[in-house]
Amino acid sequence: MPMKNPTLEKKIQDIEKDEKKRRSRAARFAAQKHKREGDSRRQVIARIINKAKQETYAQKREMRRPTFGTGSPRDRLIRPRL
């Protein structure tokens, strides 16, 4: 069985520790946002509607994106290299 590289192990542990911090920080901010938005029935329904509107807008925006070379000159690359 090969020996473990101690410097590599340390780097991996640091990365995992940073990821754990990032996740807990994101969860904390999400909880704060939810707390600010409230959890009454009306607020929950408004949140669901807004989320649906944003998703619909994102889908429409994706559909509006031109395929390469078919859009307006403004959307095209200046010097495409194929």
Model pLDDT for residues 14-61, shown as the tens digit of each residue:
999 999 999 999 999 888 887 777 778 888 899 899 999 999 998 888
Domain annotation covers residue 71: no
Domain annotation covers residue 52: yes
Q: Is the dihedral of CA 2, 8, 10, 15 positive or negative?
A: negative
Name the more confident of 3 and 72: 72
Pairwise CA distance, residues 67 & 34, whole Å: 39
Model's pTM, two decimal places? 0.40
Which amino acid is residue 31, in one-letter code? Answer: A
* Most confident option among 11-15, 68-72, 77-81: 11-15
Contact 66, 75 (CB under 8 A): yes
Q: DSSP secondary-structure letter at 73?
A: T
Residue 52 C-alpha from the chain's centroid: 16
Domain annotation covers residue 54: yes
For the chain, the 3-state helix, strand and coil shares in percent, each to the nearest 5, are 70, 0, 30
Range of the domain at 44: 34-63
Predicted confidence (pLDDT) at residue 80 exceeds the cutoff of 70: no
Predicted confidence (pLDDT) at residue 77 exceeds the cutoff of 70: no
Confidence at 71, pLDDT banded by 50, 70, 90:
low
Predicted confidence (pLDDT) at residue 74 exceeds the cutoff of 80: no
Domains of the chain: total: 1
What tokens does 2 get?
A: 């090969």
Domain annotation covers residue 58: yes
